[in-house]
């Protein structure tokens, strides 16, 4: 109990830096001076009356306590100062009215109202609601006390001084709310600015960390120069939603011979979680490709590699049946063999092949990779399908972030139909044959997106298959 009393009434409070601003300090000291200034007014009464009254002594003591209360509040004992000043103000005002009559009724409310507005830790408008109630109470007291006969008939000069002091006090109270409200707004502004600066610093640190993570993620992506060596005239657009993301691509070439294994994959989520998934997926793909690279006559290795990745992710990432997460990915894998039939496997991935002056969507297995299975459910298998290079002149590989992107006049997703239209519109004549202009295609996609926010990681890769 004692500790609670001490914490509320006696423990000094650290003052906010804004409370030491010159205007605020001057206002605080002004109230301290005003409290002790009541002593001077009471002494004026004392020297102008022709007799010593115990109530005058009590009045002076109350005025002294008011000054002490304001002083306590100023140096940090807020609750104690408020209570002392308010209680002493009521006692002092009552005694003063009994002594000098109703014309000092201003004193009954301006001291307590000043303390309320200055010190009580409530919201500004709550304080003023209470203040309005107090003013009503004081008006009632004025009506009750207006006919009282004072114990002391003050000289005319003293009465005039008292009346003038009451007018000045009333003006002070009328101006005080704006001063206090301005000071309160300034303190709140400083607190908000400090919080804003702290958030901005944390945001800069976060962005810096993400940029560093993006550099790490880029190291697992095959360089565009390496892709150009195998697929001359190709184009790669890779834009994560949040600096890092769950889309990635890779290419592995055999130690001897031509050809390459090229893959694109879209992992669960985006941002940091998606980026971590790409690291695991790249590890699994590498292991599968490494195990199959020596088998040049293997015409089903693309599907076998995806099956290996499916088992790896389900075993490593989704082994805990009680975990709430269920992670996986969609993927496309091309077993490129220049000069002969190539092969591919697609796990729920959208790929368009240019054939003459149009585009056709390649077949794809509906099953994604790595997601948790129900009890008794068989693991999916992925077909390896042939790709006739004599017919297809390029492949356009797109992640869901491209197809699901909102845009256009109605804010609809781009979708496969609109993408095919844009692909055909981006075809240009190249020495008697049609060639896809990738820069024109990307301009059309970005124009469709307009001001809409990017919804997901976006990847679009054009692989040229021209020999």
234, 464 Cβ separation under 8 angstroms: yes
Q: How far apart are CA 96 and CA 13, in angstroms?
A: 33
Residue of 99 and 308 predicted with greater confidence = 308
pLDDT for position 233? 92
> Has residue 223 got a pLDDT over 90?
yes
Bigger pLDDT: 391 or 430? 391
CB 312 within 8 A of CB 298: no
Are 89 and 66 in contact by the 8 Å Cβ rule? The answer is yes
Which CATH code for domain 220-464? 3.60.40.10
**What pLDDT, on a 0 to 100 scale, did the predictor assign at position 374?**
78
Q: Are 80 and 72 in contact (CB under 8 A)?
A: yes
Of 5-14, 63-72, 200-209, the poorest mean pLDDT is in 5-14
For the chain, the average pLDDT equals 76
What pLDDT score was predicted for residue 14?
Answer: 46
Least confident of 293-307, 332-346, 356-370: 293-307
Length of the chain: 467
Residue 159 has, within 13 A of its CA and on its CB side, a CA count of: 12
Q: Give the domain ranges of the chain.
A: 2-197, 220-464
State the Cα–Cα distance between residues 368 and 379, nearest whole angstrom.
11
Between CA 436 and CA 458 the distance in angstroms is 19
- pLDDT band at 320, cuts 50/70/90? low
Q: Apex CA 137: angle with CA 136 and CA 143, to 5°?
A: 90
**What does the alpha-carbon distance between residue 232 and residue 117 come to, in Å, rounded to a whole number?**
77
Say yes or no to pLDDT of 4 above 50.
no
pLDDT at residue 217 is higher than 60? yes
Per-residue model confidence (pLDDT) at position 16: 44
User: 265: burial class by Cβ within 10 Å (0-12, 13-18, 19+)?
Assistant: buried
pLDDT in tens, 155-188: 666 566 665 665 565 555 555 555 555 666 777 8
380-412 per-position pLDDT tens digit: 999 999 998 888 999 999 999 999 999 999 999
Flag whether pLDDT at 21 surpasses 50.
no
Question: Which tens digits make up the pLDDT trace of 269-304?
Answer: 888 989 999 999 999 999 989 887 666 667 889 999
């Amino acid at each position: 109990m004692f500790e609670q009393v001490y914490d509320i009434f006696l423990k000094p409070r650290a003052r906010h830096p804004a409370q030491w601003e010159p205007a605020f300090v001057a206002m605080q000291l002004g109230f301290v001076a005003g409290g002790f200034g009541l002593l001077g007014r009471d002494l004026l009464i004392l020297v102008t009356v022709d007799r010593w009254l115990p109530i005058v002594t009590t009045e002076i003591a109350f005025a002294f306590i008011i000054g002490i209360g304001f002083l306590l509040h100023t140096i940090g004992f807020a609750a104690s100062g408020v209570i002392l000043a308010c209680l002493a103000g009521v006692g002092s005002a009552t005694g003063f009215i009994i002594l000098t009559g109703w014309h000092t009724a201003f004193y009954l409310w301006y001291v307590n109202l000043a303390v309320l507005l200055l010190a009580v830790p409530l919201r500004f408008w709550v304080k003023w609601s209470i203040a309005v109630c107090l003013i009503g109470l004081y008006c009632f007291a004025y009506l009750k006390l207006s006919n009282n006969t004072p114990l002391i008939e003050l000289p005319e000069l003293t009465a005039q001084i008292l009346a003038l002091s009451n007018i000045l006090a009333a003006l002070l109270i009328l101006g005080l709310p704006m001063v206090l409200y301005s000071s309160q707004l300034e303190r709140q502004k400083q607190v908000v600015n400090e919080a804003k600066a702290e958030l901005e610093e944390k945001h800069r640190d976060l962005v810096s960390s993400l940029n560093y993570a993006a550099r790490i993620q880029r190291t697992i992506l095959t360089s565009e120069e390496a892709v150009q060596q195998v697929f001359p005239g190709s184009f790669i657009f890779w834009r994560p939603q949040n600096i890092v993301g769950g889309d990635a691509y890779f290419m592995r070439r055999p130690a001897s011979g031509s050809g390459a294994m090229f893959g694109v994959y879209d992992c669960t989520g985006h941002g940091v979680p998606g980026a971590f998934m790409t690291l695991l997926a790249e590890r699994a793909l590498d292991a599968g490709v490494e195990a199959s690279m020596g088998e040049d006559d293997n015409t089903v290795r693309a599907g076998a590699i995806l099956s290996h990745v499916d088992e790896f992710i389900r075993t490593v990432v989704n082994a805990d049946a009680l975990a709430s997460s269920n992670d996986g990915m969609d993927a496309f894998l091309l077993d490129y063999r220049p000069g002969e039939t190539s092969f591919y496997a697609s796990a729920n991935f959208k790929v368009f092949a240019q054939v003459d002056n149009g585009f056709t969507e390649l077949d794809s297995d509906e099953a994604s990779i790595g997601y948790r299975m129900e009890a008794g459910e068989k693991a999916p298998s992925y077909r390896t399908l042939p790709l006739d290079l004599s017919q297809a002149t390029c492949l356009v590989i797109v992640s869901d972030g491209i197809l699901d992107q909102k845009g256009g006049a109605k804010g609809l997703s781009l979708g496969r139909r609109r993408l095919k239209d844009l692909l055909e519109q981006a075809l240009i004549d190249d020495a008697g044959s049609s060639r896809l202009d990738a820069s024109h295609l990307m301009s059309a996609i970005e124009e469709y997106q307009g001001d809409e926010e990017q919804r997901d990681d976006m990847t679009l890769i054009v692989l040229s298959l021209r020999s």
